Amino acid sequence: MKLFEWIFVIVTIAGALALPLCPKRQKLAIGMLSALIVSLLLHAIIDSVRMMLLPSYLVALLLFMLLINQMVKWIRSGGSLTAVTYKKKSKARILLRSVFILILAAFSGVGSGLLTMYFPTFKIPEPTGQFAIGTFSQRIVDESREETFSPEAGDKRELMINVWYPVEPEAAKGIKPEPYPAELGEAISLVFGIPSQVFSYLDTIPTHVVKGAAMSSASSSYPVVLFSPGVRSARFQSMTAVEELVSHGYIVVGIDHPYTSARITFPDGHAVSYDAGPKFARSEELYQYNVEGIGIRAADVRFVLDTLEQWNANDPHQVLEGRLDLSHTGIMGHSYGGATTAEALAQDERLQAGLSLEGGFWGSVSKTSLKQPFMYIMSGETAKSFDPKAASKDKVFYPEFEPDLRHVMTNSLNDTYYLTVNGFFHQSFTDIALISPRLFAKNMSAEHNIDITRSYALAFFDHYLKGEAQPLLKGSSAKFPEVSYDNEYTKSRNKQTE
């Protein structure tokens, strides 16, 4: 908890314990009421209100009502304690009141303590590169495609994207960092079924990103990495990986895909929410539905690439013109975004490398041969589903996955990497470990969890987009003992990149 959160919680506990004394001690009651109001205001203004302190808020409200009621009694009696008649209480009533007071104090302290312990305010790990990070967002519309999910006929496919780019640290000084995106609360709620209000505090946590700063002139242009989020998620879902890549000299473009991403709010205020789609009785039907859905997302990627080519020639934002090294462009994604990554590689040779964080293989990628280097990272929990004797299969595992994976990894014409991370589950590739370490980083620290994904992503793109040798791609690492390479699917086929 933050400083003023602690102070507020302690004041509510003290107020609950002092409550029996307040009827006969006017100064104590006034002091407790004043302390309660001041501590709440300081906490709300400096730290901001958040759901994790709900038990303390409820106790504070009850204390406020009881103390105000006591004040009213004194005012009606002319301000004299002697004019107020106190009935002698039985031992049973005294015991019950004492138990009630202890429950109030425990509810405030233990309840808020547990909630803040499971959902702490966190600090985003520092990026390890030399650059600060700038950003801007933009709505883009593909006039060549109609929106198939829209209830309005004739609507065109519209996307929201964020561009993150390298900035000189000096240029970022004095600019207030952007907050951690509030949109992630909706996404986490959709994925885990936790009320989105629990995550209303996320936008009080600073990132390392600023708006309005000029791009660094350390290089004439920078390689590009596109990012595609998982289903029900958002383009901001892996800010730690985005910040790491940009700090090392990449321009990263995050893409929200309407109707499969979480709720997307456009600049004019209208929003598009996630559409779960129909239910299917057979896996073959669901498979075909996903082929169509990933096909739409892959077309989104092509449109973003087209847009970047236009901006590289003439950027209306006066940021990217001539600064995008589109001859060195990669793509990465998680889950449905990983499937988008694989299919986009199969469809568009402008992409030079791809990283899938536990995505599927729906579409032409499962029938053709990838020409670009491809890395696939699997979580240890999902990997258990490959065992024919497994009592249950992970919910992201599907019957066609294993043959599709085998086809992609064995028929590739370029380098392939297949890694498994023990201790990871499907959502471990996002920032969720930071948001609740006790729930989502049980076998390692949240910082180590984050470091695994961002380190392997950086090593992969540094090798294939910058041509730099990367020991992390050679095999097991003492720094990351949880990560193991599969020798069957990890193959070096392109001698020029070794």
What DSSP string runs through 114-182? HHHHHS----PPPP-SS-EEEEEEEEEEEEEEE-SS-SSTTPEEEEEEEEEEEE-HHHHTTSPPPBPPT
How many angstroms separate the CA atoms of 350 and 238, rounded? 24
Name the residue ranges covered by the structural domains of the chain.
Answer: 3-118, 132-497
Q: What is the pLDDT of residue 421?
A: 97
Contacts for 256 with CB less than 8 Å, ≥ 6 apart: 159, 160, 161, 229, 234, 235, 264
Q: What is the pLDDT of residue 397?
A: 78
Q: What is the pLDDT of residue 98?
A: 65
Per-residue b or e along 332-371, where b marks 16 or more CB atoms closer than 10 Å to that residue's CB: bbbbbbbbbbbbbbbbbebbbbbbbbbbbbbbebbebebe
Contacts for 406 with CB less than 8 Å, ≥ 6 apart: none
Q: What is the pLDDT of residue 38?
A: 93
Residues of the chain with pLDDT under 70: 78-98, 495-498
Q: 45 near 4, Cβ under 8 Å?
A: no
Q: What is the pLDDT of residue 86?
A: 52
- CATH superfamily of the 132-497 domain: Alpha/Beta hydrolase fold, catalytic domain (3.40.50.1820)
Q: What is the pLDDT of residue 76?
A: 79
How many angstroms separate the CA atoms of 496 and 358, rounded? 27
User: Phi/psi at 195 (nearest 5 deg)?
Assistant: -50, 135
Cα 208 to chain centroid, rounded: 15
Q: What is the pLDDT of residue 375?
A: 98
Q: What is the pLDDT of residue 391?
A: 74
Question: Considering the entire predicted model, what is its pTM?
Answer: 0.86
